[in-house]
Amino acid sequence: MPDTPAQQPVSAPSRCSLTRPSHRSRRGQEAARTFLALFIVAVALYTIQGFLPALVWGSVFAIATWPLYTRACRTWPNAAGGALLPLLFTAAMALLFVIPLTLLTLEAIGEAQSALGWLTHAREFGVPLPQIVKRLPIGSATIAHWWEDHLANPGDVSDMIGSLDVHGVAFTKTLGTQIAHRSTLFCFSILTLFFLYKDGPSVIRQCRVASCRAFGKRGESISRQIVASIHGTVQGLVLVGIAEGVIMGVVYLVAHAPRPALFGVITAVAAMVPFCALIAVGLVSVLIMAQGASITGLVTFCIGMSVIFVADHFVRPTLIGGSTQLPFLWVLVGILGGAETWGLIGLFVGPAIMATLHLLWRRWTTGNGARA
């Protein structure tokens, strides 16, 4: 016989369903959930704060190379399904940084050995006055007099180097600690890059869903602005800096500058920050003049100034601001302000922040903010 209502088992109601929450109670629960979510996010960010720069670097690398990676995925779809293609792209990005750093390290070791030999000779015989000082149009007598008082006597040189040794030991320890820390962050950035390559489509889909739920259509437009800004910044800073380094490296070679390949790499790295390549070009020009080739050094400096002027005033604003309609002043403030505030990663984060701010400002002032 079918069970009667009295015979049917009755489940005990849960505590949360005993009473229907009122409107005020539901608002309180939503506020509590929001606070709990923000608290969890804050605790998570505080926990991984030491690795946040590595995560940001990995994200910047992934965004900058994502068009190339997706093109490779379409060309080799079988390799894109597993870990082979992400591993190859990650290895290529790692070698892109490891090879120049290795060359610079080897050059630095060689120069350090030469410097130690020079210091030993200076302790025994003093430092002779360079011939270029005697050819200076003004101030040669003052410089020569100071040189004779402080550097010509081996005893004075030995005392000066001895005082530097104490600071040199502390500097060496600090440098070793920084190198170990930076190497760890670099390895973690490369690891982050691998997983972003491997799970990129899923990450992009999740970010779009979260952006639409949190900010609506405006969130997607802001994310596109950030991505476009990072693409333009990489092209405007990295690629233009490398081009400046190659051009000036050829100029250094023709001008018979010391270590033209090494100074070409240094110029390329310095050129990634606007106007900083001027320091490297000026140093090489002085070294060329010290060899007795004053006209060649002056010509090298003028060529470097021309290359830097064209790159910083015409090429970079077009590459960085063209895709995001960002004025040159906003680009420059974003790069320099980002580098000062966030360090090297600020070179890419700063323009992205300014591009987003410029997008919001443009929408607000043109009346499109209400429809976004």
Q: How far is CA 277 from CA 167, 247, 260, 309, in A?
A: 29, 12, 15, 10
Do 182 and 272 reside in the same domain of the chain? no
**Can you tell me the distance from the alpha carbon of 343 to that of 249, in angstroms, rounded to the nearest whole number?**
27
Residue 111's pLDDT is: 66
**Can you tell me the distance from the alpha carbon of 191 to that of 339, in angstroms, rounded to the nearest whole number?**
24
**Type of residue found at 78:** N
Q: Which helix (H) or strand (E) holds 357?
A: helix 346-366
In a domain, 25, yes or no: no
Is pLDDT at 372 greater than 50 in this prediction? no
Do 116 and 78 reside in the same domain of the chain? yes
Residue 144's pLDDT is: 74
Q: Which two tokens stand for residue 58?
A: 């990995």
Do 235 and 364 reside in the same domain of the chain? yes
Least confident piece of the model among 87-91, 269-273, 314-318: 314-318
Can you tell me which residue has the tokens 């302000």? 337
- Position 170 confidence tier, pLDDT thresholds 50, 70, 90: low
In a domain, 24, yes or no: no
Give the predicted TM-score (pTM) of the model. Answer: 0.68
Is pLDDT at 369 greater than 50 in this prediction? no
In a domain, 43, yes or no: no
pLDDT in tens, 59-110: 888 988 888 899 988 888 877 777 888 999 999 989 888 887 787 777 767 7
Is pLDDT at 8 greater than 80 in this prediction? no
**Can you tell me the distance from the alpha carbon of 84 to that of 78, in angstroms, rounded to the nearest whole number?**
9
Do 318 and 174 reside in the same domain of the chain? no
The closest alpha carbon to 329, from 314, 317, 341, belongs to 317
Do 238 and 360 reside in the same domain of the chain? yes
- Position 191 confidence tier, pLDDT thresholds 50, 70, 90: very high
Q: Which long-range contacts (CB under 8 A, 24 or more apart) does 179-183 make?
A: none
**Type of residue found at 59:** S
**Can you tell me the distance from the alpha carbon of 106 to that of 109, in angstroms, rounded to the nearest whole number?**
5
Share of the chain above pLDDT 90, in %: 10
**Type of residue found at 227:** V
Looking at the structure of the chain, the number of domains it has is: 2
Q: Are 285 and 297 in contact (CB under 8 A)?
A: yes
Do 236 and 192 reside in the same domain of the chain? no
SS3 content of the chain, % helix, strand, coil (to 5): 85, 0, 15
Do 184 and 309 reside in the same domain of the chain? no
In a domain, 258, yes or no: yes
- For residues 355-369, average pLDDT: 76
Do 64 and 174 reside in the same domain of the chain? yes
Residue 367's pLDDT is: 59
Do 150 and 252 reside in the same domain of the chain? no
In a domain, 17, yes or no: no
In a domain, 18, yes or no: no
* Burial status of residue 152 (CB atoms within 10 A of its CB: 0-12, 13-18, 19 or more): middle
pLDDT in tens, 321-346: 766 677 778 888 888 888 888 888 88
Do 113 and 155 reside in the same domain of the chain? yes
Of 363 and 12, more confident = 363
**Can you tell me the distance from the alpha carbon of 69 to that of 79, in angstroms, rounded to the nearest whole number?**
12
Mark which of 149, 165, 198 sits at the end of a domain. Answer: 198
In a domain, 367, yes or no: yes
Domain housing 306: 217-372
- Position 157 confidence tier, pLDDT thresholds 50, 70, 90: low
Residue 131's pLDDT is: 67
Do 230 and 177 reside in the same domain of the chain? no
Of 262 and 11, more confident = 262
Do 97 and 124 reside in the same domain of the chain? yes
Degrees, nearest 5: CA angle 46-52-58: 155
Which is it for the CA torsion 323, 339, 171, 57, positive or negative? Answer: negative
In a domain, 20, yes or no: no
